Amino acid sequence: MNAGHQRNALDRLNADWSDTQSSPYATDQIKRWSYRWLALAGCETPEDVLKACYRFDDSTNTVLLTLLRIVHGRYEGRDLAARLVLQSLLGPAVRDYLPRFSRAFDDSGDAASALIAALVETIATYPLSERTRVKRRLLTRTGTTLRREARAFDRIDRKTQALRDRREVPCDPVALGEVFDDADEAAPDPLVEATEALAAAVRREAISLEDARLIARHHLAADPAPYAELADELHISEAAVRQRCSRIVRRVAASTAAVA
């Protein structure tokens, strides 16, 4: 890999991110997502989404899973969703893995390209059934992929490599679309359909955003909040929470049927 060419791999991603932040297309797409996907409600810009992906907690899990469902389900804006997941992982991945694996490559440019390629592969192949500790799982899978590539690169005979003027990397770190197009299309996900139904009901004002979040916390979360916990937070009885959830579900069903 030509060092001068790949030295700029991270710079190219950073420049691309600057363009994304100022892109009217990206802003419009995220606003449309905010109406369809409950986890992205309130997000209006790429920076809003990135902030929502910053922490290693349940709220970040929900946002990342939503973006990954958009990518894997071939929904509108899937390339932008992939780019946002990549950007959310880039900083921690650079910090955690580049110092550890750089020596296995010819230069830092090769290491950076391999890291970006590992991130892309991880995003394209992440199993949506893994719904807890999503950000940590994504980074761990990236580290495993990068370790594999580092070992393979390190085993190449250096003289042979020089003669062949080796220039390939696992994938072009900027051309994300082709990688995700090659990934198998995910089967319909009932969780996605339920989330969309909630978001649509909020948009049609059949339920409030607080109602949707209440249902999502109990019925859609990877670690559902029990009725007793929700009752304590709302300062009402557990029976009242059950009744409220039941009414919300009926309103969502009626709203969905009305436009079917």
34-77 tens-digit pLDDT? 988 988 988 999 999 999 999 888 889 999 999 999 998 878 89
Q: In the chain, where are the structural domains located?
A: 3-182, 190-258
H helices of the chain, in order, are: 3-6, 9-21, 24-36, 46-52, 58-72, 78-101, 108-125, 134-155, 158-164, 176-182, 190-203, 209-215, 227-234, 238-258
d(CA 208, CA 15): 39
What does the pLDDT look like over 72-106, one tens digit per residue?
Answer: 887 889 889 999 999 999 999 999 998 888 777 76
Contact 199, 38 (CB under 8 A): yes
**Share above pLDDT 90 across residues of the chain, in percent, rounded to a whole number:** 26
Instruction: Please report, as a single letter, which amino acid is at residue 221.
Output: A
Lowest mean pLDDT among 83-92, 132-141, 157-166: 157-166
